[in-house]
């Protein structure tokens, strides 16, 4: 497929489960053709808003999930053989869209 889209899915899962999920998707992707788009929170490394921090705690307590920073997303994607190409983040918002391609 040309586009694979995950909308607020990955934050429900711990890193190992997320890597398994995205690795299976990466296996189906075609290098130079397919794009993975992930719509999820990308929280800052420091100085996260109260809302973002609260969402992180909520994911951890309820689902053993996590809201991730950009560096955490890069590590997850790297573990799946994917490169993070771009992050679209509206000014002042934690919600973002991450674009990844096969390495």
φ, ψ of residue 95 in degrees (nearest 5) = -65, 135
Active-site option among 2, 8, 11, 73: 11
Task: For 1-103, list the strands marked E by DSSP.
Answer: 3-7, 35-43, 68-69, 82-88, 95-102
Asked if 14 and 42 count as a contact pair (C-beta separation under 8 A), the reply is no
Told to judge if 101 belongs to the known catalytic residues of this protein, a careful annotator would answer no
- Please give the positions annotated as active site: 11
């Amino acid at each position: 497929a040309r586009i694979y889209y995950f909308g607020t899915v990955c934050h429900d899962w711990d890193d190992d489960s997320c890597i398994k999920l995205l690795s299976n998707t990466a296996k189906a992707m075609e290098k130079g053709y397919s794009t993975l788009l992930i719509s999820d929170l990308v929280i800052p490394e420091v100085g996260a808003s109260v809302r973002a921090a609260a969402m992180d705690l909520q994911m951890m307590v309820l689902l053993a999930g996590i809201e991730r920073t950009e560096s955490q997303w890069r590590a997850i994607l790297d573990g799946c053989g994917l490169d993070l190409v771009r992050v679209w983040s509206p000014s002042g918002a934690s919600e973002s869209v991450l674009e990844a391609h096969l390495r």
